[in-house]
Amino acid sequence: MNKEKKLPIIEIKKEWCKGCDICVDYCPTDVLAMNGLYAEVVNLEACTSCGLCEVRCPDFAITVTKPDSKSKK
Ligand code: SF4
Ligand code: SF4
């Protein structure tokens, strides 16, 4: 079932996130949303691994791992 579509892994470090909302703004597919003070993933299925949130976050709080980047070969 979960083999049908490989999803990226998005890690948001709450300790580093200052809730600036930039990642939410930049994500073209609305994967992220603010949850009070922090950003959180609300729609991982829509993530295209574009990496925009990762490069735009001023606090390096987001890491996006593409689904194929740790393929088993
Ligand atoms: S990698 Fe791209 S699509 Fe995925 S959450 Fe970040 S900005 Fe959105
Ligand atoms: S851009 Fe970074 S610091 Fe700003 S809300 Fe997103 S994760 Fe938090």
Range of the domain at 23: 13-65
Q: What is the CA radius of gyration of the chain?
A: 12
Q: Flag whether 50 is in a domain.
A: yes
Cα of 65 to ligand 2 centre, how many Å?
Answer: 17
Q: Which two tokens stand for residue 8?
A: 């990226």
* Model pLDDT for residues 14-25, shown as the tens digit of each residue: 999 999 999 999
53: domain CATH number is 3.30.70.20
DSSP class per residue in 3-67 = TSS---EEEE-TTT-----HHHHH-TT--EEEETTEEEES-GGG-----HHHHH-TT--EEEE-T
β-strand pairing of 9-12 with 62-65: antiparallel
* Model pLDDT for residues 25-46, shown as the tens digit of each residue: 999 999 999 999 999 999 999 9
Q: Flag whether 55 is in a domain.
A: yes
Q: Flag whether 18 is in a domain.
A: yes
Instruction: Give the pLDDT of residue 5.
Output: 75
Q: Flag whether 53 is in a domain.
A: yes
Instruction: Determine if ligand 2 sits within 6 Å of the CB of residue 10.
Output: no
Q: Relative to the CA of 48, which ligand 1 atom is closest?
A: 3
The total of structural domains in the chain comes to 1
